[in-house]
Chains A and B, each alone.
Chain A
Amino acid sequence: MSTQVKTEKKKPQETDAAVQPKRKRGRPRKTDKTAGEKSPRGVKSEAARKTRLAAKRAGTSTRDLIIASANEIINRTGVVDFRIETLAQSLSLSPGNITYHFPKKEDIIAAIWEEYIAVMRDTTAEMITPLLDIKQLFLYFRTAAAKAIGYAGVTTYYFGDMGALLRENETFRRQIQRGRELIFASYDTLEKNGYMKPIENPEIKELTFDSQMAMLRWWINHALTKYPEQDLPMVMDKYIALSLLQLIPFLTESGRRQFASIVNLIK
């Protein structure tokens, strides 16, 4: 990648690097709790100083700040072009300060991924209740999708690079198994609440789940081939409604009415 064309953004950073004071030798100070309080090193941009002051007030550690800001950058540039130097510059930290927390950029990416997984797990637990109907299922998928958009740069990489797919294969299989249990339980609840008929054929049931799952995971990749990434929240609803399309053959009359009203509201 060294031969890659640099964007113009890179240029000012080179001059910054020259001005940046040397990092003290030896092991950096412990930064865990007091991270936000220590006097910042490096060149200070007013905006970056404000971000960090806000973070300090909110009790956010440098580590969390690095993760949040890296995620923002990756959502714009993708993981391939993401550089620790760019990140350091945007936070007015020295690259050394970042590599103290994360030795390689891959470690930052992995930390963002962990956060995404935790966020998704929390979303799940809160939304599926015995009151479930088609509208709620739509809202659940929608909430998950909205959160996924916040991690689009990292998730498209984890869902689309063979290296990442192979490394994380076990995690993914666990996730999909959990998803299967959850969705099958949702089918049962919808049936109990009178919105769905049972899917008698176990193979069709598995196919229905698989295609719902695949749509909910890869709609972002499809959307990105059609729309710029800032439009994702606007086109999200269409894709989420599509994932419900698979249930149509099994919806009861009241299920169909709810689906129709969702489709009408989206338009």
Chain B
Amino acid sequence: MPAKTKTNTKKTPAAQIMPQEEISTREMILRRSLELINAKGMVDFRIDTLATSLGLSPGNITYHFSRKEDICAALWEQYLEEYGQVVRSLTTLLDIKQLYLLNRINIHLNYKYRGVVVFRSADLGAIKRDQQAGRVNEDEHFAMARRAMQLLKQNGYIDKNATEEIIEGTHIYHYIMTRWSINFAYQAYTPEEVEAKLDYLALMSLHALYPTLSQKGRDEFAEVLAKVSAGNLLGEKR
């Protein structure tokens, strides 16, 4: 194993085109962990099971990650890294349709990392340890939702009569929906249905803004709604 790849903590495009043997042990651990956590959840996820399924010794894994929570934190970092792309596509051109597309990327990412994403801030002990370790939990998400709100306001998509308070409340609502609509999906639909519902979930996040939208905003929302509920977002007949 080349020493370089071991210290390579972030997933880079280069890592993806590398042949299988070149993937660092750390990367291998993270990939398999995500599969296991997606299937069984964080609480039932065991380092022993992970080691067996990779044909490694548990010691080899604890060399990279001393506790399973560290694996969870590393996957969360990876998720945030990918999520950063969403944040960077927020521009002054933002309109309702663009925000829908950003929410859609976000929900697909949430789905990919579902085991980790649904669990963040689900265990009181883990939350406390995160806070003690000074790990910021969700700030990047939160900042994005707020910025989206400001840009929409600048561009005339927010109702002129909405008070600062209502706008702030709407922003929190939107954030909570982008963050937890995936959890909602696993309660409202069968696990098999969830993947087909991702477009709807992106709409649900967007809908959090509905009460505060201007007429122009509501018209665009109606357009998105019509396309999503026709199940024809990709322009192909299903």
Is B83 part of the contact surface with A, judged by Cβ < 8 Å? Answer: no
Is B191 part of the contact surface with A, judged by Cβ < 8 Å? Answer: yes
Cβ of A161: which chain B residues have Cβ within 8 Å of it? 41-43, 118-119, 122-123
Is A70 part of the contact surface with B, judged by Cβ < 8 Å? Answer: no
Q: B42, A222: Cβ atoms under 8 Å?
A: no
Q: How large is the interface on A (under 10, 10 to 19, 20 to 34, 35 or more residues)?
A: 35 or more
Q: How long is the Cα–Cα vector from A115 to B236 in the complex, in angstroms?
A: 48
Cβ of B211: which chain A residues have Cβ within 8 Å of it? 245-249
Cβ of A207: which chain B residues have Cβ within 8 Å of it? 203-204, 207, 210
| Interface size counted on chain B using CB atoms at 8 A | 57
Of A9-17, A186-194, A208-216, the one contacting chain B is A208-216
Q: B188, A173: Cβ atoms under 8 Å?
A: yes
Q: How long is the Cα–Cα vector from A217 to B177 in the complex, in angstroms?
A: 11
Q: B165, A263: Cβ atoms under 8 Å?
A: yes
A-facing residues in B185-219 (Cβ within 8 Å):
186-191, 203-204, 207-208, 210-211
* Contact (A214, B177) CB under 8 Å given A162-B40, A173-B188: yes
Of B126, B169, B191, which is within 8 A of A242 by CB? B169
Of A44-52, A84-92, A117-125, A164-172, the one contacting chain B is A164-172
Distance in angstroms from A3 CB to nearest chain B CB is 6
Q: B177, A163: Cβ atoms under 8 Å?
A: no
Q: A4, B67: Cβ atoms under 8 Å?
A: yes
Q: A224, B127: Cβ atoms under 8 Å?
A: yes
Cβ of A219: which chain B residues have Cβ within 8 Å of it? 176
Is A36 part of the contact surface with B, judged by Cβ < 8 Å? Answer: no
Cβ of A211: which chain B residues have Cβ within 8 Å of it? 173, 177, 204, 207-208
Q: B180, A166: Cβ atoms under 8 Å?
A: no
Cβ of B42: which chain A residues have Cβ within 8 Å of it? 161-163
Number of A-B contacts (CB under 8 A): 169
Q: How long is the Cα–Cα vector from A134 to B225 in the complex, in angstroms?
A: 28
Of A23-31, A56-64, A75-83, the one contacting chain B is A75-83
Q: How long is the Cα–Cα vector from A162 to B187 in the complex, in angstroms?
A: 10
Q: A242, B173: Cβ atoms under 8 Å?
A: yes
Q: B210, A249: Cβ atoms under 8 Å?
A: yes
Q: B170, A245: Cβ atoms under 8 Å?
A: yes
Is A1 part of the contact surface with B, judged by Cβ < 8 Å? Answer: yes
* Contact (A162, B118) CB under 8 Å given A218-B180, A242-B172, A245-B170: yes
- Which residue of A is nearest B38, CB measured? A162
Is A95 part of the contact surface with B, judged by Cβ < 8 Å? Answer: no
Distance in angstroms from B33 CB to nearest chain A CB is 13
- Which residue of A is nearest B172, CB measured? A242
Q: How long is the Cα–Cα vector from A217 to B187 in the complex, in angstroms?
A: 11
* Contact (A224, B169) CB under 8 Å given A79-B43, A203-B225: no
A-facing residues in B122-179 (Cβ within 8 Å):
122-128, 137-138, 165-166, 169-170, 172-173, 175-177, 179
Counting chain B CB atoms within 10 Å of each CB, which of A74, A214, A224 scores highest? A214
* Contact (A166, B191) CB under 8 Å given A159-B183, A211-B177, A218-B184: yes
Cβ of A217: which chain B residues have Cβ within 8 Å of it? 180, 183-184, 187
Q: How long is the Cα–Cα vector from A96 to B166 in the complex, in angstroms?
A: 54
Cβ of B66: which chain A residues have Cβ within 8 Å of it? 3
* Contact (A3, B121) CB under 8 Å given A159-B183, A217-B184, A218-B184: no
Cβ of A148: which chain B residues have Cβ within 8 Å of it? none
Q: How long is the Cα–Cα vector from A242 to B208 in the complex, in angstroms?
A: 10
Distance in angstroms from A214 CB to nearest chain B CB is 4
Nearest 5 pairs between A and B by C-beta?
A160-B122, A163-B41, A78-B125, A172-B187, A78-B124
18 contacts between A and B (CB under 8 A): A3-B66, A76-B124, A78-B125, A157-B43, A161-B43, A163-B41, A164-B41, A164-B43, A165-B186, A172-B187, A172-B188, A204-B207, A211-B208, A215-B176, A217-B180, A218-B183, A221-B122, A222-B179
